[in-house]
Structure 1
Amino acid sequence: MTDSSTRRTVLATGAAAALAAGCSKYGDGNDSSGSSSVKASGGQELATTADIPVGGGKILKAQKVVVTQPKKDEFKAFSAVCTHQGCTVSAIANGTINCPCHGSKFNIADGTVAGGPAPKPLPAEQITVEGNSIRLA
């Protein structure tokens, strides 16, 4: 009986672990730690100036960066990780960068909190604009 119950325990534990691993999303950025598995490196081209609309922006999920153009020819960049619970922001509309998880909104001009539960602004990212190329500094 001991061998049988031990075998069942091992099988049940292994199945539960496999099920849990199969249901997780590695590196989706929606963990509460605020950590990200992928981070853009310095010098990497993020976008072209034509990719970024005036009064709007573009979310680069793979690099965890948001690039905005609050005024013509003025480009800003921020972390795409919400300061509330580490979700990746998902939209830019009406002058704000928006988080889908709990409704936090950030100003496209400076990353400050415009609404929602986020406690801090989005951290700024250093970029350079050379010609029509926007790169991380």
Structure 2
Amino acid sequence: MTSESVQPGSKPSRRTVVAAVGAAGLAVALTACGSEDDASGSSTQQGADAGATTEAGGSSGGAGAGGAALAKTSDIPEGGGKVFGDEKVVVSQPAAGEYKAFSTICTHRQCPMTDLAGDTLTCACHKSQFSVLDGSVKKGPATEPLEAKQISVSGDSITLA
């Protein structure tokens, strides 16, 4: 970069203005995509009605399957879900006794999401909406569904695989 000096009463060069605007835009974008993940205990949970099948593997055996324990089955509302910010995952219960998990990273621009209302997870960056019951896009600009995550349900414990 060259060092340009601006004399009193003169205008900044076009290059200086474009660089300043670009830097400001980058700062805004990085701030919007920043994460304010709280501890997994401060998750959002809501209930709603819907039905789907489970992707949770009904693993036989203990919680020593190498995953992190997330919650008890009673913590996940039927027809809704619960966000686990630290793990960047949402666990849902589409129908009684069926559990699914999805990434909470938006497929549009990879912003972390924590805003769960009913069965809908909304991205704060560009307002894409996803169903936590099946990971599908409810509203764009995102076009790809949420990434499915593997979980195990053993007794009343849900573990991230």
> Aligned letter for 1:30?
C
**Which residue of 76, 97, 101 maps to 2:121?**
97
Q: Deviation per CA, 1:21-61, whole angstroms, max 9, x where unpaired?
A: xxx9xxx9926xxxxxxxxxx41101111111111111111
- Corresponding residue for 2:157? 133
Unaligned runs of 5+ in 2: 1-26, 35-65
**Which residue of 33, 50, 55 maps to 1:30?**
33
> Aligned letter for 1:74?
E
- Corresponding residue for 2:142? 118
The alignment status of 1:51 with 2:54, answered yes or no, reads no
Shift of 1:125: 0.2
Partner secondary structure for residue 70 of structure 2: strand
The alignment status of 1:107 with 2:107, answered yes or no, reads no
Shift of 1:98: 1.7
- Corresponding residue for 2:108? 84
Contact 1:29/1:81 (CA < 8 Å) preserved in 2? no
TM-score (norm 2): 0.57
> Aligned letter for 1:133?
S
Percent pairwise identity? 50
Q: Distance in 2 between matches of 1:130 and 1:29?
A: 38
TM-score (norm 1): 0.67
Shift of 1:93: 2.2
Q: Distance in 2 between matches of 1:29 and 1:121?
A: 21
Shift of 1:117: 0.6
Unaligned runs of 5+ in 1: 1-23, 32-41
The alignment status of 1:60 with 2:63, answered yes or no, reads no
Partner secondary structure for residue 93 of structure 2: strand
Aligned CA-pair RMSD = 2.3
Shift of 1:91: 2.3
Based on CA coordinates, which of the two structures has the bigger radius of gyration?
2
User: Where do 1:3-18 residues align within 5 Å?
Assistant: none
> Aligned letter for 2:89?
V
Count how many residue pairs are aligned between Structure 1 and Structure 2.
102
